[in-house]
Amino acid sequence: MREPRNPFRLRRSESIDTETAFLTLFEPGILEVVSTEGFWETVHILRSAAGGGKTSLIRLFTPNTLLTLCAKRTDERIKELYQRMKDLGAVNDVGPVVLGVMLMCGPGYSMMHDLELDQTRKDRLFFGLLNARIVLAVLRGALLLKGLEYPDGLDRVQINPIPGGSGIVGLTLPCSGKVLHDWAEQREAKLCSSLDSLGPLNVDSLPGDESLLSLSLIRPENILVDGKPVAERVVLMMDDIHKLTGRQRSLLVQTVIDARSPVGVWIAERFEALSTQEMLSSGAHQGRDYEHAIEIESYWRQKPDRFEKLAMKVADRRVQAAPDTEEIGSFKSCLQDALDAPEWNDTFISIIEVVSNRIGERVKSQPRFQEWIALRDKTTGTLRERAVAWRSLEILIERELGRKQKSLFEAEPLDEDDLSQRDDSSVNNAAELFLAREFDLPYYYGPERIARLASLNIQQFLGLAGEVFEESAAALLLRKPTALPPRRQHALMKKVAKAVWEDIPKRVRHGRELRRFLESVGKFAHWYTYRPTAPNDPGVSGTAIRMSERALLVDDAYRKNKEDVCRFADILASALAHNLLVAQLDYNCKKEKWMVLNLNRLLCVHFDLPLNYGLYKERPLPTLCQWMTRSFTAPTNEDALL
Amino acid sequence: MTAVLENVHMRWRNYILVRDGEFSSFWKAHFAERTRSVLFVCGKGFDPRTCIALRTIAELANGALTETMALVFDESEGTLTQDLREKAASNWKEMEGLIVGKGLSTSHKITFRTADGRRVGARNAADVFKEEARISTFSDIIVDISAMPRSVYFPLIARLIYFYDELKRKQKPAPNIYVVVAEDPVLDCQIREEGIDETASFLHPFEGEFNREATGQQPKVWIPVLGEGRTTQFDRIYDLVKPDEVCPVLPSPSRNPRRGDDIVMEYRDLLFDQLRLDPRNIIYSSEYNPFEVYRQIRKAAIQYHDVLGLIGGCKIALSALCSKLMSLGVLLVGYELKAANSLQIGIAHIECQGYDMPDSVVPNPQPVGLWLAGECYG
């Protein structure tokens, strides 16, 4: 493989071929998502949408990565990560102290579920194959950790008996690593070749197990290399659990929890593994068989600022890893961050004139606003700030004019205090958004907004930042300024958002219907946001249903014979699984609890919406169901709708 | 499983491939040669090419058409639009007209998903023929893949060739096996897959060996045959295979001489920025000839096996992201190397929920026939 021209394009951990490159690009702050409490002993469920960072996290604890981490501990780019891993207890001054074994749970298991056998036999086959694969992965990991050749070094491995007997058919303990390996290899070969034969399937003599016996076998004290325990701890990290069937997944998780093994077990899965019912319950732990699932996006949702800072650090590492771009230095250097440069002066002078004239025209017969207008005339600041201030004033005047319940002192002039009470950063943000739309100004630019556009997903962020870096690096090559102007950044974000939007039917299950629904959400949010009074300033980026309505979506009795409700539940689950909608449960408002559904921020770009989360305008469930087939159209009579 | 590949017989070194005008003359001569008993297997699909091969064969068969088996695809909820369902019904009506009074008409339902939404179409497609006796009564079996998805015709054809080989091994009479397809690479590109599955998988029966943990340390080589509009599929299959080396196959020669370049442009981000592909890894193969695709992929697979055999071997994954005709080359390599048990080979694949076909599509199909097993091979 060649040197990466644009390291942002290496969006997957697997695309990074050397451990050094992986460690250099890994931002230690990502470790924040895992709790240090009971870190090594308990079962951890890691869950996210695709690209959330599960596989990278797992790779960090594998033998090759840990060995490289220890070897490069003095490297400036790796030092911090080494210290964090040391604090976690994964390494010490001598080297790695944990044997982390990564096991991919590919789709090979799911076919067992379809065999014409009784369920007990199918479960036995599942455990039989899983036990063999766990043993093989652990033995290979042990040799890697000790720097021994695979499989030649197996003779130096000894497997101690399990207290209470082996319980594994065809295996007598203690035995050498070689014996255990041969047992597992033969078992796996027999199962795989039978299940996948060119001819009809014959399952009569296939081996299986009652349970996940391998967990007892791979305890650290049971695996000796040259007479010494292989490591202080063993961690089994099972990735791609979503490829198992629902029953296999539940069986595995429950068995692992029940086993209470000293071997740490991590189970990583994508949201898509969850059924519609589970997906719509995600975030509310009632009825779950475990309590400590780490949902990566949910974790960052509590700390969005931390994520955005982390994203910038991730980006800086990528910039520094790019060849021949030392001059760029950091990701922020790729981005101009404001519209205060002289080339914007004429535009803002013109905007101020247009908006102030518009206000004058609107309230010319109403002296009560004259003081507000006079105050705005005296506003100081950059031209951009003054333009925003004028547009804010226009919104505030619209609100005053639109108030239904008139006060006793309606004719009283409004003074400076009244203005300062009403004028705040939210109105200013709404004004900035309005100006961008009305005067074709860039809005989606600058490091802060681009980090927000990631919607708390690192892969999405790398995609966006990669587009920016591509142009910045090209500019460097052409000896032009590397900081992209806001208009170009805005255009790039729009382009990516459009591509994501157009790809939805292709990439996502129920994609066409889902896109129709999202289009309605987007159009509705757009219409509501850009009302002259800017309600819910700076604007809404989604909708909401009552928690009681959400409960109906997963209530079998209610769903019965309601095709549209079932369909909507599936579509909603699909949108949540793919991070196209972001749900916030139990949101208290108007003395009720709500399930808020915000659009992925990249979709907000498509609909010219603000990038805040949490603000919404609720709609009843039947309306959302209608939106699957009938797109939202802005009403002629606003009051009738709201 | 290393260093035995020089002994693997190149099964399709010589082959019979007929197209266009030769297609009719071949079948005419074939049916005229002696009394035959033909099983014709086709898909009950929406593709406008569905009836083309059957039209010719039904006309020329002279009473040899003993049974026509239509595979009915149960793709579960919401897979096809109303428009496509109407097209499928219209195709079926025409097919019924073509075979009326010409032997038995049967149908076989292939369920694509389980109740909990998992894909099981490939295994069910293989089990269309569960025993050798079902095929041994025919002299010829013709599989028309024009209206079949890969997840159906790959396992189905693999099973038929396997039964053929078993019957021959037992020195019993075995039917000739043919594949026919109304080839139109432009149309193949215009039929867009929608709702592509989130994760790829290995197609049955080309999975088991590739996924073995015992050989997990071996490098993986991925040979995808590329076509237009399948970057999402490429990306997701890559995620499954996690290859150490990628050797994309591009169509050349092709009807459109720039087609290979256009495909490279479409995949450039994936190939060169994400995978950092060495352009020397690109393999070119004829758009017209699946046996040429077979030959090129086979050669590459064996070379990798031989070279990497020195350091413990490798696994080869194949994928067909291309026209139906080219995809047959992938199937042939997969079958041959798996049946010979000579290297660890898998066919990585991804399915979709439905299709979108623009109304403006004007098909320009050429009927193509491949004789895969039987008397011509001795």
Q: If pLDDT is split at 50, 70 and 90, which confidence band does A11 have?
A: confident
CA distance A50 to A269: 9
Residue B353: which pLDDT band, with cuts at 50, 70 and 90?
Answer: confident
What percent of chain B is modeled with pLDDT above 90? Answer: 64
Q: Which residue of A has its CA nearest to B340?
A: A198
Confidence at residue A34, expressed as pLDDT on a 0 to 100 scale: 81
Q: What is the SS3 assignment for A468?
A: helix
Would an 8 Å CB–CB cutoff place A15 in contact with chain B? yes
- What is the average pLDDT score of chain B? 90
Q: Do A114 and B114 touch (CB under 8 A)?
A: yes
**Per-residue pLDDT tens over the stretch B28-75:** 999 999 899 999 999 988 888 888 999 999 999 888 999 999 999 887
Angle B109-B115-B120 from CA coordinates, rounded to 5°: 55
CA distance linking residue A393 with residue A373, whole number of Å: 8
The pLDDT score that the predictor gives to residue A291 is 47
Question: Which residues 379-398 of chain A have a CB within 8 Å of chain B?
Answer: none
Hey, is A237 helix, strand or coil? strand
- pLDDT tens-digit readout, A134-190: 999 999 999 999 999 988 999 999 999 887 665 677 788 889 999 999 999 999 999
B216: which chain A residues are within 8 Å (Cβ-Cβ)? 136-137, 140
Q: Scanning every residue of chain A, which has its alpha carbon at the shortest distance from the alpha carbon of B163?
A: A199
At B206, the pLDDT band (50, 70, 90 cuts) reads very high
Whether residue A137 lies within 8 A of chain B, CB to CB, comes out as yes
Of residues A364 and A405, more confidently modeled: A364
**Strand B65-74 to B176-183 pairing:** unpaired
Contacts within 8 Å (CB) and 24+ apart, A461-465? A461/A311, A461/A314, A461/A315, A462/A8, A462/A9, A462/A10, A462/A11, A462/A314, A462/A318, A463/A8, A463/A11, A463/A496, A464/A492, A464/A493, A464/A496, A464/A602, A465/A8, A465/A311, A465/A315, A465/A318, A465/A331
Average per-residue pLDDT for chain A: 87
Q: Which amino acid is at A406?
A: K
- Whether the pLDDT of residue A30 is over 60: the answer is yes
Q: How confident is the model at residue B101 (pLDDT cuts 50, 70, 90)?
A: confident
Across the interface, whether the CB atoms of A509 and B197 are under 8 A apart is answered yes
The two three-digit tokens of residue A32, written as one number:
């924040």
Mutate to test the interface with B, among A62, A509, A513, A514 (most CBs of B within 10 A): A509
Torsion of CA B258, B259, B263, B264, to 10 degrees: -30
A100: distance to nearest CA of chain B, Å?
16
Check pLDDT > 90 for residue A507.
no
pLDDT digits (tens, 9 = 90+) for B281-326: 999 999 999 999 999 999 999 999 999 988 888 999 999 999 999 9
A271 by DSSP, 3-state: which?
Answer: helix
Whether the full predicted model's pTM is greater than 0.90, yes or no, is no
Please tell me the predicted confidence (pLDDT) of residue A550.
Answer: 87
pLDDT score recorded for residue A368: 84
Q: Which residue has the higher pLDDT, B80 or B264?
A: B264
Alpha carbon of B301 to those of A267, B147, B161, B316, B344: distances in Å? 34, 30, 21, 7, 10
CA A565 to each of CA A419, A508, A554, B232: distance values in angstroms, whole numbers, following the listed order: 47, 19, 10, 30
| Beta carbons within 10 angstroms of residue B286's beta carbon | 18
Q: Are B370 and B242 contacting, i.e. CB atoms less than 8 angstroms apart?
A: no
B191 vs A466, residue with greater confidence:
A466
What ipTM is given for this predicted complex? 0.86
More confident residue, B221 or A17: B221
Question: Which chain A residue has its CA at the smallest distance from B192's CA?
Answer: A506
Q: For residue A340, give both structure tokens.
A: 């205060």
Between these two residues, B186 and A247, which has the higher pLDDT value? Answer: A247
Task: Please give the pLDDT value at position A417.
Answer: 83
Q: How confident is the model at residue B80 (pLDDT cuts 50, 70, 90)?
A: low
Task: For residue B331, give how far its alpha carbon lies from the nearest alpha carbon of chain A (Å).
Answer: 13
Q: Quick check: B354 pLDDT over 90?
A: no
- Give the per-residue pLDDT at A404: 67
Q: Do B123 and A111 touch (CB under 8 A)?
A: yes
Task: Please determine, for residue A289, whether its predicted confidence score (pLDDT) is greater than 50.
Answer: no
Give, for A539, the enclosing helix (H) or strand (E): none
Q: Under a CB-based contact definition with an 8 Å cutoff, are residues B304 and B5 in contact?
A: no
Is 50 exceeded by the pLDDT of residue A285? Answer: no
Question: What is the pLDDT averaged over residues A183-211?
Answer: 87
Q: Is the pLDDT of residue A273 over 70?
A: no
Query: pLDDT at residue B178 above 90?
Result: yes
In this complex, the residue of B120, B244, B339 whose CB is nearest that of residue A114 is B120
Q: Which amino acid is at A602?
A: L
Whether residue A348 contacts residue A386, with contact meaning beta carbons closer than 8 Å, is answered with: yes
A71-100: burial string, b at 16+ Cβ within 10 Å, e else: ebbeeeebeebbebbbebebbeeeebbbbb
The set of residues, in sequence order, having a beta carbon less than 8 Å from that of B77 and lying 6+ positions away, is none
Q: Please give the residue of chain B at the shortest CA–CA distance from A510.
A: B195
Task: Phi first, then psi: give them for residue A105, nearest 5 degrees.
Answer: -100, 75
* Pick from A4, A189, A509: CB nearest B353: A509
SS3 state of residue A586: strand
Task: Write the pLDDT tens digit of every residue in A420-443.
Answer: 888 888 899 999 999 999 999 999
- Section A42-69 average pLDDT: 88
Q: For chain A, give the percent of residues with pLDDT over 70.
A: 93
Query: Interior CA angle at B282 toward B280 and B287, to 5°?
Result: 150
Task: Write out pLDDT tens, residues B130-160.
Answer: 999 999 999 999 999 998 999 999 999 999 9
Q: Is the pLDDT of residue B2 over 60?
A: no
- Segment A604-620, tens digit of pLDDT: 999 999 998 768 888 99
Tell whether the model's pLDDT for residue B15 goes beyond 80: yes
Strand partners, A121: none
The per-residue pLDDT for B315 is: 94
- Lowest-pLDDT choice from A26-40, A277-291, A395-409: A277-291
In the structure, what pLDDT confidence band is assigned to residue A288 with cuts at 50, 70 and 90?
Answer: very low
Residue B116: C-alpha distances to residues A110, A151, A374 (Å) = 12, 40, 67
In A450-556, the DSSP E strands lie at 542-546
